[in-house]
Structure 1
Amino acid sequence: MSEELTTERLVVREWRLDDAAAALAIYGTEKVIRWLTPAMGQVADEAAMRVVLQAWIEAQQNMPDPRGRWAIERRADGEVVGGLGIRLLPPYKEDLELSWQLRPDAWGHGYAAEGGRALAAWAFTQEIDELFAVARPTNTRAVATAKRIGMTWVGETDKYYNLRLQVFRIRPSDLAT
């Protein structure tokens, strides 16, 4: 996605190296990262976050749409409050995961659902017909966000990451409601 997505309150855009401090407030926070392990470990400091962002930026250039990672920026103040991603779920063959991560002080404002819904709508213009989200059953915030995005619960599995996970799915027709 080379252009930005704009919603009422948010801009979904590509990550930049100067986002390192803001990204660290997300990916360097135990409250966030505990739900991402084993897919991602906690980032230790701003320098390490810059290295991670550099890898994401470089990888983005070689990923076919709709895959990638993006920053969630508040339109009101330009502050990065979270991240969104679309990537292949393990075993990395076909299931695309829509994921979201917000810094803790941005929880409860609906940013993940608003940004996730916009990203899903764009993704469905890229010749895909469904996206999945996975969450640990105890991650009630992620489960609630998946539902607010318009995703439907399809069951539990241990197929991804060798963890027992709730699986949600969204299709283009789900965005029409």
Structure 2
Amino acid sequence: MTDLLAASERAKYERMWARPEYRVWSPGKDSAEEAIATFGASSVIDFGCGEGKALDQFLASGMEVIGIDLVSLREGVIEACLWDLPADLKPASWGFCADVMEHIPTDKVEAVLSNIAGKVRLGCYFRISTEPDGMGALIGERLHLTVRDAVWWGHRVREHFAQVVVIPCGGYCIVVARK
């Protein structure tokens, strides 16, 4: 990982994931069932999979799954920066990206969305926080680097997908994007 920003973010999240408090709640796990209902039985890339709690649910439902995260917390997860994905990463039918986009630096959001759109054949399910984080204080860092409302996120995603449904949920939004 030669990108200095990516290396700095990776170091920050290594410190954050070392905190047991950070591992208590998983927005990805909370959203996986809804995403599975959207996807049906297919292949999925979990962009920013963290510990892989949603990966486990996808696997249990019979899906072919690839997990990618800046910090690999379990065997089999591809350690990569989302604005610099491996060129040999094979596309999947769907993408899943929960509690990730708000952690991306604003100037990298377009690159991440472009990369995700380029690695999915049908679409992507996003869960994006629209509020500042409450955990970064544990390590003296801000974790949510791009705090925007659901409308802003909808506009960004529409630049990369043909059909986009945005559902504001009070503190976060769900964005279901289809090619």
Provide TM-score, normalisation by structure 2.
0.36
* TM-score, normalising length: structure 1: 0.36
